[in-house]
Amino acid sequence: MSSSATPYGARPVGSLSVNGSFSGKVRHYSIASGYATSIFYGDFVKLVAAGGVEKDTGTTTLTPVGIFLGCSYTDPNTSQKTFSQMWTASVVASDASAYVMDDPDILFEMQADGSGAQTVIGNNVAVVQTAGSTSIGTSKNAIDISTVAATTATLPIRIVDISSKSDNTAGDSYTDLVVKFNAGHIMSNTTGI
């Protein structure tokens, strides 16, 4: 039972695509050397005009390119190639590369910041943005369950289902939900960055 708040950001679990199964493929996007905001595994990222990605900090609106699943760069102190679940703010590395799940039809799990009944399925919601865990490199973002709305088309996330994990049921104190991007995904938007 999800009786404690343990948000973990967005975890890819499948795809709405009818043309193939979920493969878990990621695309590599650059991160600007010295980019001064930490990005955690499970955070949303957006494309920027320079061609790379940055953390998408929106709540009621997002313009994501996808979900951040780690990065690699040459450590400026050791000159060694480094692989990490998180981008540490202000790292100076000209070869920084983010691993991003950028499929606009991706399904992902997120924990709600409260109880989600079966009736939330099909509704749109906002996101709660919280600083991630520097000790394990993961996001702490969650679904803002208080924003559940069937008619607010601009909310960034659509609830698809209640997660079928064995320790999760509809109405739990902090329900785990299966969700998808609803509005703003850059690959589904006719306006460029």
Q: List the chain domain ranges.
A: 105-181
Measured CA to CA, the distance from residue 67 to residue 101 in angstroms comes to: 5
Which DSSP letter does residue 11 get? E
Give residue 1's pLDDT.
46
Give residue 2's pLDDT.
65
pLDDT, tens only, 119-160: 999 999 999 999 999 999 999 999 999 999 888 999 999 999
**What average pLDDT is seen over the chain?**
92
In b/e form, how buried is each residue of 96-134, taking b as 16+ CB within 10 angstroms? Answer: bbbbbbbbbbbbbbbbbbbebeeebeebbbbbbbeebbe
